[in-house]
Structure 1
Amino acid sequence: MEKLQKNDDIRRTTRIIQIDEMLRGGSYVKIASLVRKFGVSQRTVERDFERLRDDLNAPLEYDKSKNMYHYTDPTFSVPNVILTEGELFTVSALLPLMEQYKNTPLESSFKNIMKKLVDFLPDTVSVNSSFLNQDISFISDPLPKIDENIFNMIFKAIKSSKVLSIKYQSSKSQQPKEKTFNAYKVICQKGNWYVFGFEHETSDFRIYSLARIQNAQLQNDSFRVPQDFDIKKHIDLELGIWNNPDRFEEYEILFAKETSRYVLEREWHKDQIIEQNEDGTVLLKFKSNQSQMIYTWLLSFGNNATVIKPPELREKIRAECEKVAEKYIVK
């Protein structure tokens, strides 16, 4: 009996969510059409409307001239969370995944969101608590710590379109430098956080690591993101964050037979062409502007990857391999 009641509650909640979706934006619905849609009685639909109006505070109103119901506030929507056990397992699996974001304020924010989500779930949902931490482990890359004030200031600048004054310590300079910056977009690459925007001093686009920003202050001046701005013209979101506008090149990489299965079972780029040759080797083709990222990525394959195109990358990797080999020459 208790199980039947739980199933009825779930079906009722599902109906209410669907009715709410039909009413959003000022649309009108008839009880008769809902009776046919859900295969329930007119009284059942009327009780659903009562719950919408009385329990969920929906601005539901009956229009006698049309013999239909509608929302007097077309922007209203019912807050809802209905998750099956499998779906809740998927959500709970995000908790250990958030470990890689310990260096940002998102850690506490995610925990608060998950708590609110669990508190908001209907009583009919129950999940074995062992799902939450014991069954899944994640190994994250070592990540630099980001100052919470700077992290929040970057997002505040983007939302308010205010110019930023920052002190930035690049990887090559010994001292931080003063920068004036219009922050356009934040990008997270494998747990490393960056901000892309326009630097006043060079009158050019730049990308900064949030971990290397030592100070950030909002100025009174505002800015506008150019209407023709497209982040995809500057970086390749499939591969990396390096700012190389209009430098997309054709890449052809030949992978050895020993690593063919590893290469074939992954999608390296959304526009890739991948072919396996008769000898077991694999040829990967794609276009990108991430020459530096591709360079370091291919080095990780050692002699199992051979650059066919572009010739500049082929020469760069050959020169690097010679330098490495020199370090291991026995004298």
Structure 2
Amino acid sequence: MNKKNMPIAGGHSRPPLERMHRLHDLLSNEQPVNCQQLGKDFEVSYKTIQRDLDFMRDRLNLPLEYDPTRYTFRYTEKVEAFPLLQVSEGEILALFVAQKVLAQYRGTPFEKTLGTAFQKLTGALKETVSFDLGEWGSDYSFRVTGASAADLEVFRLLARAIVQRQQISFSYQPLRASQPETRLVHPYHLANVDNAWYLLAHDPQRGQIRTFALPRIRKPEIVKKTFDRPRGFSAKKELKGGFGVFSGTGKYAVKIRFDSFAARLVRERDWHPTQKIRETKRGEIELEMTLGALEEM
């Protein structure tokens, strides 16, 4: 075994992506890229450097070639940026539409965090296609009213508690109560329903899973006590019975009659998995649903 090509004892080799970024920088600046020497510098074997270069050439389609006269690799043409992802025109369109969707959070506490994440994603794209985004900008738009006023710090704390399975306490203002109440719950899930954020959590005191609107959660704190979320928990199942976010165990048959004008609008959407639309006289309709709770009716 050739020990001089092995990693230095006690050293910390760079992750592959970091190594390839470094190789790209050297190649872009026309610096020597020699597998033996870089293996020592990066504390990996020379074969690892060779595999990195092969990946850059064969998978990332970078213009790499070996110069036998100098025993180094080099770029045969200028490379503007190191590519992380290769996408098709259709995938670029999907990202463009996603960016339009993110615009609904402009002016909210989530704007900065979402914008930074989107920039990191799009900044990693390889320029494999060329087309004009100008027309797309006029072809797609999104307008949202009544966006959630949830606080970003509250969202972060709840998200952390969900992942770490930690109990939380907070002050909460129920819609039907005149004064806030203190709650101690097991947070299970964060759901965005109709552009508003809600926490689904088990309330041990009440023995039920309850839904909490984030804008009405105040002074949340993580309690240094963990819990186990039931394996069978499903946010989809919890929200299925209600019309929106209010779930329940009831079985209420709801029938709503709409005149001909409203009927045209009602037909254009799916309102509930159990819905049935019955046509009546003069273009009127009856919308029938079976709900687990009636708060939103």
TM-score band by shorter chain is: 0.5 to 0.7
Report if aligned partners of 2:241, 2:293 keep a CA contact under 8 Å in 1. no
1:210 to 207, 211, 214: 214
Task: Summarize deviations over 1:221-266 as a string: whole Å, max 9, x none.
Answer: 100112343435543377311132x113222333223333322232
Task: Provide the rounded CA distance (Å) in 2 between the counterparts of 1:131 and 1:289.
Answer: 46
Task: Name the residue aligned to 2:223.
Answer: 219
Report if aligned partners of 1:248, 1:289 keep a CA contact under 8 Å in 2. yes
Task: Name the residue aligned to 1:149.
Answer: 153
Report if aligned partners of 1:194, 1:207 keep a CA contact under 8 Å in 2. yes
Task: Provide the rounded CA distance (Å) in 1 between the counterparts of 2:270 and 2:259.
Answer: 17
Once the two structures are TM-superposed, the CA of residue 270 in structure 1 deviates from its matched residue by 2.9
Task: Name the residue aligned to 1:271.
Answer: 274
Cα root mean square deviation, aligned: 3.2
Once the two structures are TM-superposed, the CA of residue 161 in structure 1 deviates from its matched residue by 0.4
Q: What pairs up with 1:1-331 in 2 under 5 angstroms?
A: 53-55=54-56, 80-84=85-89, 86-102=90-106, 105-130=109-134, 135-236=139-240, 239-244=243-248, 246-277=249-280, 279-293=282-296, 295=297
Task: Provide the rounded CA distance (Å) in 1 between the counterparts of 2:273 and 2:145.
Answer: 24
Amino acid at match of 2:291: S
Task: Provide the rounded CA distance (Å) in 1 between the counterparts of 2:57 and 2:170.
Answer: 46
Task: Provide the rounded CA distance (Å) in 2 between the counterparts of 1:102 and 1:215.
Answer: 25
Gaps in structure 2 of 5+ consecutive residues: 1-50, 60-83
Amino acid at match of 1:83: S
Give runs of ≥4 in structure 1 deviating > 6 Å: none
Once the two structures are TM-superposed, the CA of residue 164 in structure 1 deviates from its matched residue by 0.6
3-state DSSP of counterpart to 1:235: helix
Report if aligned partners of 1:236, 1:290 keep a CA contact under 8 Å in 2. no
Change (3 A) 1:267 1:238: farther
Task: Name the TM-score, length of structure 1 as normaliser.
Answer: 0.58
Gaps in structure 1 of 5+ consecutive residues: 1-49, 59-78, 296-331
Task: Provide the rounded CA distance (Å) in 2 between the counterparts of 1:102 and 1:178.
Answer: 32
Matched-pair identity in %: 23
**Greater displacement, 270-279 / 184-193:** 270-279
Task: Provide the rounded CA distance (Å) in 2 between the counterparts of 1:56 and 1:270.
Answer: 51
Once the two structures are TM-superposed, the CA of residue 106 in structure 1 deviates from its matched residue by 3.6
Task: Provide the rounded CA distance (Å) in 1 between the counterparts of 2:57 and 2:184.
Answer: 48
Task: Provide the rounded CA distance (Å) in 1 between the counterparts of 2:210 and 2:258.
Answer: 34
Report if aligned partners of 2:189, 2:200 keep a CA contact under 8 Å in 1. yes
Task: Provide the rounded CA distance (Å) in 1 between the counterparts of 2:96 and 2:196.
Answer: 23
Once the two structures are TM-superposed, the CA of residue 204 in structure 1 deviates from its matched residue by 2.8
Change (3 A) 1:256 1:145: closer
Report if aligned partners of 2:241, 2:292 keep a CA contact under 8 Å in 1. no
3-state DSSP of counterpart to 1:261: helix
Task: Name the TM-score, length of structure 2 as normaliser.
Answer: 0.64
Report if aligned partners of 2:242, 2:294 keep a CA contact under 8 Å in 1. no
Report if aligned partners of 2:88, 2:128 keep a CA contact under 8 Å in 1. no
Report if aligned partners of 2:241, 2:247 keep a CA contact under 8 Å in 1. no
Task: Provide the rounded CA distance (Å) in 2 between the counterparts of 1:56 and 1:213.
Answer: 52
Once the two structures are TM-superposed, the CA of residue 180 in structure 1 deviates from its matched residue by 0.9
